[in-house]
Amino acid sequence: MPPTGPDTIQLVVMEWVYIWVTPFPDEFWTKIIAVCITWPPTKVGEWFQFRRNIALRAAKEKHQPHPFRKPHEVVPVKVDGRTLDLRGVALGDGTKPWTDARFAHSMNHRFDYVMETWNERYSKMEYEARLVREYGEKLSRSEVE
């Protein structure tokens, strides 16, 4: 049975959007995310809803204020004629405004970075596994002799 949740790379990219850009991507940005990580837009939207619910439950359990109503946590910003709630940290110094093109570029850049990092780690794991396998083969040969 195929997995219903996101794979590791999809999850890392969506977490990046959630933490650093917005916990509330609109329908268009949800589609950009979906295309970038090759996952259905409906699943992407469900994941963001689920992730926001986790944050709300955690805040309630710790008796903390609503996680998205803190000052400067999320700020309404006009993006290509629409209003999106972006993280304060995503706004930076405000010199480079958010646009759909900037978001798509950021998504592609983040995805490429995550893939590159993942491939480097995977290559190192393969290399280490090969060393362990070769060492095991040397040990078995020396035991036979």
| Mean per-residue pLDDT, 26-53 | 96
Identify whether 139 is part of a domain.
yes
Torsion of the alpha carbons at 15, 26, 24 and 57, rounded to the nearest 10: -90
CA dist., res. 5 & res. 22, Å (int): 20
CA distance to 25, 51, 53, per residue, from 22 (Å): 6, 12, 14
In a domain, 133, yes or no: yes
> d(Cα 44, Cα 23) in Å, to the nearest integer?
12
Contacts for 125 with CB less than 8 Å, ≥ 6 apart: none
Domain for residue 1, yes or no?
no
More confident residue, 115 or 65: 115
Structural domain boundaries enclosing 96: 8-144
Phi-psi map region of 79: left, alpha, beta (phi>0 left; psi -120 to 50 alpha): beta
Distances (CA, A) of 9 to 38, 39, 42: 11, 11, 18
Residue 25 lies in a domain: yes
Looking at the domain assignment, is residue 3 inside a domain?
no
Q: What is the pLDDT of residues 69-114, one digit of tens each?
A: 776 689 999 999 999 999 988 998 777 899 999 999 999 999 999 9
The model carries a pTM of: 0.76
The domain tally of the chain equals 1
Amino acid at 63: H
Q: Is residue 64 part of a domain?
A: yes
